[in-house]
A and B are shown apart, each in its own frame.
Chain A
Amino acid sequence: MNKTTEKKQTSSFMNNMVKRPEFSILVILVVMITLTALLQKNFFSIKSIVRNINAFTPLILLTMGQAVVIIAGGIDLSAGPALSLLTCVLTFIMKEGSPVTGVYALVITFAAAVLLGIINGIGIGYLRIPPVIATFATSFMWLGTALFIRPTPGGETVNWFNAFYSFRSLENVPQVIRTIGDIIPPALVLVLLGCFFWYILSRTRTGRYIYAVGSSLESAYESGIDTALVQTSAYIINSVFIFLTALFFVGQNQSGDARLGDPLTLRAIAAAVVGGIALSGGKGSVFFAIVGALILSFVNKIIFFADIPYAFQTLVGGVIVIGAIASSRFYTIYNQKVRKKESSLI
Chain B
Amino acid sequence: MNALTNRNNPAVKFYLKYKRIVIAFLLIIFLFILGEVTVSNFLSLGQILLTIKLASFIALFALCQMIVISAGGSGLDLSVGYTATITAVLTASVMDGQNSHLWIAILIALGIGIAVGFANGVLTAYLKLPPLVVTLAMANILQGAINVYTAGANITGKPSPVLRIIAAKSIGIFPNILFLLILVAVIVSLILTKTKLGVILFGTGANETTAYLSGINVKLVRCVAFIISGVLASVIGLLLIGNMGMAFKDMGSNYVMPSIAAAVVGGVSLMGGDGNYVGVILGAIFLQTLTNLLVAMGWGDAGKWLGFGIVLFVLLILYVSNRRSR
A residues apposed to B, CB below 8 Å: 75, 123, 127-130, 132-134, 136-148, 151, 266, 269-270, 273, 278-280, 309-319, 321-322, 325-326, 329-330
Interface residues on B, range: 35 or more
Given contacts A311-B144, A318-B139, A326-B129, contact A144 B123 (CB under 8 A): no
Stretch from B39-47, B209-217, B317-325 forming part of the interface with A: B317-325
B residues apposed to A, CB below 8 Å: 74, 76, 123, 127-130, 132-134, 136-141, 143-145, 147-148, 150-151, 257, 260-261, 264, 270-271, 300-310, 312-313, 316-317, 320-321, 324
Could you show 6 A-B contacts with beta carbons less than 8 Å apart? A148-B302, A270-B136, A279-B133, A318-B139, A326-B123, A329-B128
Chain B residues, CB < 8 A from A128: 320, 324
Q: Is the CB of B317 within 8 A of A273?
A: no
B99 → chain A closest CB, angstroms:
32
Q: In the assembly, what is the distance between CA of A333 and CA of B310, in Å?
A: 43
Q: In the assembly, what is the distance between CA of A265 and CA of B127, in Å?
A: 24
Q: In the assembly, what is the distance between CA of A137 and CA of B320, in Å?
A: 14
Q: Which of A123, A151, A322 contacts B137 (CB 8 A)?
A: A322
* A/B pair count, beta carbons within 8 Å: 151
10 closest Cβ contacts across the A-B interface?
A315-B144, A144-B306, A140-B309, A318-B140, A141-B309, A147-B302, A144-B305, A318-B141, A314-B144, A311-B151
Q: Is the CB of A266 within 8 A of B261?
A: no
B122 → chain A closest CB, angstroms:
10
Given contacts A315-B144, A315-B147, A318-B144, contact A279 B301 (CB under 8 A): no
Given contacts A147-B301, A316-B144, A321-B140, contact A141 B313 (CB under 8 A): yes
Q: Is the CB of B143 within 8 A of A137?
A: no
Given contacts A133-B261, A134-B316, contact A322 B134 (CB under 8 A): yes
Q: Is the CB of B133 within 8 A of A273?
A: yes
Q: In the assembly, what is the distance between CA of A269 and CA of B129, in Å?
A: 13
Chain A residues, CB < 8 A from B130: 273, 278-280, 325
Chain A residues, CB < 8 A from B132: 75, 132, 269, 279
Q: Is the CB of A315 within 8 A of B303?
A: no
